Structure formats: structure tokens, C-alpha cells
């Protein structure tokens, strides 16, 4: 298994925990939306994690790059629920934190 595959696997496990604890009522939909985000950004994540591992990106640079994708995270399940704007933003930030934290445990 490559380091990137390990990275994705750990994120997916973390997603299950995130969905289970934070957004129980939308667990399946949130997990699906987050996986879509990972798939849509896979090429950039591969590039950035390689650069991170090679010391070409600092922790802050990597975090900024991933955080820059927060606005394109589509959480369809939460958009349809009245009053879910705060939950949507929290979920986006938790997903970004999960990606960043996992990259540092796998690549550094």
C-alpha cells in the first residue's frame, strides 16, 4: 500500500467517526459527500502530500492549500436541512482538519 493510499484510508476511517459523532442523522450522506470531495481533489492532494513529504511545503502551506478547498466542499445532505448552515460550515472545517491532520501523521 502506498503512503497516499494509507492517507486516504485513514481519512475514510476518520470520516466514519466524524459522521457518527457530529452528524448522526446524516451519516451516510455526509460520508458520501466527503468521499466525493476526496475523489474530486485526489490529484491535488497527491501532489501536495508528495511536496509535504519532500519538505517542499511547510505545514502552514499545506494547511492553506487544503483550507482553500473548503468553499468547494459540497455537503448536499446538509444543504437541504433547514437551519443547517452552521452544521455545514462545522462539517467542512472538520473535514479539512481531518485531511490536514492525517497528512501530517502519514507523511511527516
Q: pLDDT tens digits for 61-105?
A: 999 998 888 776 766 555 555 556 677 677 778 888 999 999 999
CA-wise closest residue to 31 among 78, 70, 101 = 78
Other Cβ atoms within 10 Å of 15 Cβ, number: 23
Q: How many domains does the chain have?
A: 1
| pLDDT tens digits for range 1-29 | 799 999 999 998 888 887 777 666 667 76
Reported confidence tier of residue 55, pLDDT bands at 50, 70, 90: very high
For the residues of 29-52, what is the DSSP string, one character each?
A: HHHHHHHHHHHHTHHHHHHHHHHH
Which ranges of 23-107 would DSSP assign to H, the alpha helix?
Answer: 27-40, 42-53, 59-67, 76-79, 85-107
Measured distance CA(60)–CA(15) in Å, rounded: 23
Range of the domain at 28: 3-107
Amino acid at each position: 500500500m502506498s503512503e497516499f493510499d494509507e492517507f486516504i484510508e485513514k481519512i475514510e476511517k476518520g470520516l466514519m467517526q466524524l459522521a457518527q459523532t457530529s452528524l448522526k442523522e446524516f451519516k451516510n450522506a455526509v460520508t458520501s459527500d466527503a468521499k466525493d470531495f476526496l475523489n474530486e481533489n485526489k490529484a491535488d492532494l497527491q501532489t501536495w502530500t508528495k511536496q509535504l513529504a519532500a519538505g517542499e511545503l511547510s505545514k502552514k502551506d499545506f494547511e492553506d492549500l487544503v483550507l482553500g478547498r473548503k468553499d468547494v466542499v459540497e455537503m448536499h445532505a446538509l444543504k437541504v436541512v433547514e437551519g443547517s448552515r452552521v452544521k455545514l460550515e462545522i462539517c467542512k472545517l472538520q473535514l479539512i482538519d481531518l485531511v490536514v491532520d492525517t497528512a501530517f501523521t502519514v507523511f511527516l
